[in-house]
Amino acid sequence: MLDLKAIRANPAAMEERLKRRDPSLSLGNFPQLDAERRQIIQKVESLKHQRNEASEQIAALKRARQADEAQQLIAQMGQIAAQIKELDAELSQTDSAIGQLLSRLPNPPHDSVPVSYDKADKVVIREYGQKPQLDFAYLNHVELGKRLKMLDFERAARIAGARFALYKGLGARLEMALIQFMFQYQITQNGYTPILPPHLGNRQSFYTSSQLPKFAEDDYYVERDDLYLNPTAEVMLCNLHRGEILEAEELPINYVAYTACFRREAGAAGGEERGLIRMHQFNKVELFKFVHPKDSYQELENLVQDAEDILQALQLHYRVVLLPTGDLGFQASKTYDLEVWLPSQGRYYEVSSCSNCEAFQGRRGEIRYRPAPGAKPEFVHTLNGSGLATSRLFAAILENNQRPDGSVVVPAVLHDGVGTDVIAG
Residues engaged in binding RNA (CB under 7 A): 4, 38, 41-42, 45-46, 48-49, 51-56, 58-59, 62-63, 73-74, 77-78, 80-81, 84, 92, 373-374, 376-377
Dihedral pair phi/psi, residue 288, rounded to 5°: -145, 140
259: region left, alpha or beta (phi > 0 left; psi from -120 to 50 alpha):
beta
Residue 135 to residue 94: CA distance in whole angstroms: 65
- Least separation in angstroms between CB 209 and RNA: 19
Residue 331 to residue 360: CA distance in whole angstroms: 6
Nearer to RNA, 84 or 142 (CB): 84
Nearer to RNA, 122 or 241 (CB): 241
Nearer to RNA, 82 or 216 (CB): 82
Type and span of the H or E element at 144: helix 141-147
Nearer to RNA, 198 or 213 (CB): 198
Residue whose C-alpha is closest to residue 349's, from 388, 301, 312: 388
Looking from the CA of 60 toward its CB, the CA atoms found within 13 Å total 7
Residue 381 to residue 373: CA distance in whole angstroms: 19
Nearer to RNA, 329 or 377 (CB): 377
Whether 385 and 353 have beta carbons less than 8 Å apart is answered as yes
User: Would you tell me how many other CB atoms lie within 10 Å of the CB of residue 172?
Assistant: 14
Nearer to RNA, 19 or 62 (CB): 62
Nearer to RNA, 58 or 423 (CB): 58
- Least separation in angstroms between CB 42 and RNA: 5
Nearer to RNA, 135 or 226 (CB): 226
Nearer to RNA, 91 or 115 (CB): 91
Residue 58, CA distances (Å) to 31, 48, 313, 315 in order: 41, 15, 76, 80
- Least separation in angstroms between CB 360 and RNA: 16
Residue whose C-alpha is closest to residue 259's, from 287, 234, 284: 284
Nearer to RNA, 45 or 250 (CB): 45
Task: Give every CB contact of residue 9 below 8 A, 6+ residues apart in sequence.
Answer: none
- Least separation in angstroms between CB 156 and RNA: 24
58: region left, alpha or beta (phi > 0 left; psi from -120 to 50 alpha):
alpha
Residue 296 to residue 310: CA distance in whole angstroms: 22
- Least separation in angstroms between CB 242 and RNA: 13
Residue 332 to residue 354: CA distance in whole angstroms: 9
- Least separation in angstroms between CB 249 and RNA: 14
Residue whose C-alpha is closest to residue 287's, from 182, 189, 385: 385
Task: Give every CB contact of residue 44 below 8 A, 6+ residues apart in sequence.
Answer: 84, 87, 88, 91
Residue whose C-alpha is closest to residue 94's, from 46, 25, 42: 42
- Least separation in angstroms between CB 61 and RNA: 9
Nearer to RNA, 25 or 77 (CB): 77
Whether 356 and 348 have beta carbons less than 8 Å apart is answered as no
- Least separation in angstroms between CB 187 and RNA: 24
Residue 410 to residue 418: CA distance in whole angstroms: 8
Residue 244 DSSP SS3: coil
- Least separation in angstroms between CB 320 and RNA: 37
